[in-house]
Chain A
Amino acid sequence: MKKLIFILSILVLFSCEEEGILTKNVEQVPVDEELAVLKYSGTFETTSGISGEGKTKIFLEGNQYKLILEDYSIENGPDLKVYLSKSNSPDDFVNLGNLNPSATYLIPSSVNMTEYPFVLIHCQQYNHLFAIAQLVQN
């Protein structure tokens, strides 16, 4: 039994969860303030039990819509995503990726912006909605 405990201890010591350094990532393409035109904006309203505030803006730069978050301080959660949504609930949406307040999100060219009047912050892993921003056309 001593053998078992000893070997088990060694395994635990050497097998802790490891998260290394990210060595490959998509290069961020920031909004070009000279070329981009602000098309939509919105202010986040948090859902019950979630605190913080933030805004979102959508620019058109050439033929590419780009979404950014501004003054974003909504509390963090596991596996938060940014959705461009047809309604204020995550039923029919475009998943723009993991939440990163400093990121510029590229909206797929096939998206008809008039059909997606909401931006949602949603925890995909536990299916919990954190915040909703209704977009206003500028």
Chain B
Amino acid sequence: MKTLKFGIVLFFATSFLHAQGCSDAGICSIGKAFQEETKTFKNSFEINSILGQGDGNVSIFTQTLSYTRKFTDKFSLGSRVTYNLANGDFGTRGQFGDAYLIGNYQFKETNNKQWSVLLGWKFPFTTANAKINNISLPMDYQASLGTFDLFLGTNLNYKAWDFNLAIQIPVFNNNKNSYFDELSVSDDFPTTNLFERKSDALFRTIYTLKTANNKFLFKPNVLFIYHLGEDTFENQFSNRETIKGSDGLTINGNLIGIYNINSKNSIELSVATPFVVRDIRPDGLTRSFVLGLNYRVLF
């Protein structure tokens, strides 16, 4: 009961922050699926509240619920639902964003090395065309990219190091965004009418430091995300146009601190910021600073 109370208090405390998730399309948080769960418990449930500050004076609050079930020692299946609330010069808009389903298979450990592979799918709850008062909003205000995405990834764990490699492929585009810069009072956002987004590739290196009693863990990590092509939109004259500079590299630095309250419960604080960004980020993934608070219970 104590734990439950703590969880609820934490949830309320974080709910009133105006927060948001990692500055990516979902790919940077799938790395969690690689992390080894405890051997004792088969289920993990997490609540995550994230605050981010994006371009155009948009602050974004993301709330996620995650459930992971370990079916065997090697195979686990994780699910996650996100809710986004964006607040900026246009006003406030909140919606459920995406659902994720991610399977993770860990191979046998040999010589301190353990490989695992990941296969996942993202389902959008929206078509990325949320409006306020019938006024179309830029992608920064949208809870989802509006794409059905496939995730493929692999991880190598070697002693205290983890190396993630993953790709996020938009398989089916259902983005119906209708924001036109030309028709808007704001100059902060590019046109994203009927936006089509390209794939991302990710490489991440994580180093895990543990205190002697295993109560505290610190995970500094660097995240390289390469957007594999230039995104496109349909311009005002019904022609598809490429967004120059929307491809390229983003490098994020991320520090995660975990406090294990006991064998079942833990809280995690995550701070991230990009060091290198693409010339233009029409997808609205423009967070310059991200702060996340996560509560996890194992059972």
Contact = CB atoms under 8 A, between A and B. Distances in A.
Given A7-B11, A21-B91, A15 B178 contact: no
Contacts, number: 109
Given A11-B63, A100-B134, A108-B236, A125 B94 contact: no
A72 interface: no
Interface stretch (A30-38, A60-68, A87-95, A129-137): A87-95
A68 B214 CA distance: 69
A97 to B, nearest CB: 5
A121 to B, nearest CB: 14
Interface of B is mostly: mixed
B96 A17 contact: yes
A77 B91 CA distance: 23
Nearest to A80: B134
B176 A125 contact: yes
B97 to A, nearest CB: 10
A74 B90 CA distance: 28
Contacts of A90: 238
A16 B193 CA distance: 26
Interface range for B: 35 or more
A27 to B, nearest CB: 8
Given A20-B132, A24-B186, A95-B238, A15 B91 contact: no
A26 B183 contact: yes
Contact of A7 (B7, B183, B237): B7
B180 A97 contact: yes
Given A19-B132, A20-B132, A97-B180, A10 B11 contact: yes
Nearest to A103: B134
Interface residues of A, number: 37
B118 interface: no
A17 B23 CA distance: 22
Contact of B91 (A3, A23, A26, A94): A23
A125 B176 CA distance: 6
A95 B236 contact: yes
B135 A15 contact: no
Interface of A is mostly: loop
Given A18-B92, A23-B90, A98-B134, A7 B47 contact: yes
A98 B178 contact: yes
A22 interface: yes
A94 B194 contact: no
B65 interface: yes
Contacts of B234: 95
B266 to A, nearest CB: 15
B130 to A, nearest CB: 8
B42 to A, nearest CB: 14
Given A18-B85, A22-B135, A94 B178 contact: no
Nearest to A110: B237
B191 to A, nearest CB: 10
A4 B65 CA distance: 10
B47 A11 contact: yes
Nearest to A91: B238
Nearest to B132: A22
Interface of A: 3-4, 6-8, 10-11, 14-27, 79, 81, 90-100, 108, 124-125
Given A3-B297, A98-B136, A108-B182, 6 more contacts: A7-B47, A19-B133, A90-B238, A95-B236, A96-B183, A97-B183
24 contacts: A6-B4, A7-B8, A7-B47, A7-B65, A8-B65, A10-B8, A15-B96, A17-B94, A17-B96, A18-B94, A19-B133, A21-B91, A22-B135, A23-B89, A23-B90, A24-B89, A24-B186, A93-B238, A95-B180, A95-B236, A98-B134, A98-B136, A108-B236, A125-B176
Interface of B: 4, 7-8, 11, 15, 45, 47, 63, 65, 83, 85, 87, 89-96, 127, 129-136, 176, 178, 180, 182-186, 193-194, 234, 236-238, 297
